[in-house]
Homo-oligomer: A and B are copies of this chain.
Amino acid sequence: MDAKDRQIIWALQEEGRLSNQDLSERVSLSPSPCLRRVRLLEDSGVIRGYTAIVDEEAYGLPITAFVRIRLERHSKASVSAFEQKVRTLDAIQDCYVMTGEADYLLRVLVKSLKDYEQFVRNQLHNIEGVAAIDTSFAYGTVKRSTVFPKV
């Protein structure tokens, strides 16, 4: 991955639907080698895909919760049961395995506090081996970037 590939990546992180023609101009290439590089980045898994960025509130999910979770034990069975369940829960946007106090950090999107209560009661507490759940809500966002730091 050279400087040109990084330029392509930044451009597509900023504007994921850039036409190949515009992209090629922006990175000072002609369309064909530009397209070839994009395909290579896609096929090699550097670019994993593309997505629309949607306003949570406008869509109807105004509440973002960050949930720290600790498991009682860390047996293979316990861990994989938890992770399996996480993958099936649509409200959970992200789940990271963490260092420190908590084992997991979730980012959860819900439409109301009532919904969040239901989610914790019916879904999270339902999972075997969850020892502790600690929620913080996001009042708002200062920054959400889709572009990686440049060099």
A residues in contact (CB < 8 Å) with B: 1, 6, 9, 12-17, 44-56, 58-61, 64, 66, 83, 86-87, 90-102, 104-105, 109, 136-150
A-B residue pairs in contact (CB < 8 Å), sample of 28: A9-B59, A12-B51, A13-B54, A16-B50, A16-B51, A16-B52, A17-B17, A44-B58, A46-B58, A48-B53, A49-B146, A61-B148, A66-B105, A83-B142, A90-B145, A94-B141, A94-B143, A95-B141, A96-B138, A97-B139, A97-B142, A98-B137, A98-B139, A99-B136, A100-B136, A104-B142, A105-B136, A109-B148
Contacts of A145 in B (CB 8 A): 90, 92-94
